[in-house]
């Protein structure tokens, strides 16, 4: 079992550009959550996808959007990048429901210059 895989591992973008990050959940998991972890901070919840729909959303602007595919994999899109979007973006997968363990990927390190 490959666990949660994220791609790419690192990328550098310019202010104003758009970026897409990808996540493949752990085998058998149907729920994907995305978190932003700024340097020196704890992860902040962006949103969660279940059955190809956004089920919950954190306090992030509409520039942050996502998608879940029928195979449960997911994308995080960020438009009009700002310097403050530089962070480690973590994907977590789970079976849904709070009493299950969320498994995290290694993250994508996004640097906006």
Partner 1 sequence: AQSVTQPDIHITVSEGASLELRCNYSYGATPYLFWYVQSPGQGLQLLLKYFSGDTLVQGIKGFEAEFKRSQSSFNLRKPSVHWSDAAEYFCAVGNKNTDKLIFGTGTRLQVFP
Question: Of 95, 96, 93, which Cα lies nearest the Cα of 26?
Answer: 93
- The stretch among 15-23, 60-68, 70-78, 98-106 that binds partner 1 (CB under 8 A) is 98-106
Interface residue with partner 1, options 17, 100, 111, 113 (CB under 8 A): 100
Query: Cβ closer to partner 1: 15 or 57?
Result: 57
* 86 vs 108: CA distance, rounded Å: 10
Whose CA is closest to 111, among 81, 91, 90? 81
Q: Using CB under 8 A, list all residues that contact partner 1.
A: 4, 31, 33, 35, 40-45, 48, 55-56, 58, 90, 92, 94, 96-107, 109
């Amino acid at each position: 079992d490959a666990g949660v895989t994220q791609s790419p591992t690192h990328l550098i973008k310019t202010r104003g550009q758009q970026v897409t990050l990808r996540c493949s959940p752990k085998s058998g998991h149907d729920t994907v959550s995305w978190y932003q972890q700024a340097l020196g901070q704890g992860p902040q919840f962006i949103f969660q996808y279940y059955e190809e729909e956004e089920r919950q959303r954190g306090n992030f602007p509409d520039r942050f959007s996502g998608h879940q595919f029928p195979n449960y994999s997911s994308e995080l899109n960020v438009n009009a990048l700002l310097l403050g979007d530089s962070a480690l973006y973590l994907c977590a997968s789970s079976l849904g429901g709070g009493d299950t363990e969320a498994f995290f990927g290694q993250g994508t390190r996004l640097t906006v210059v």
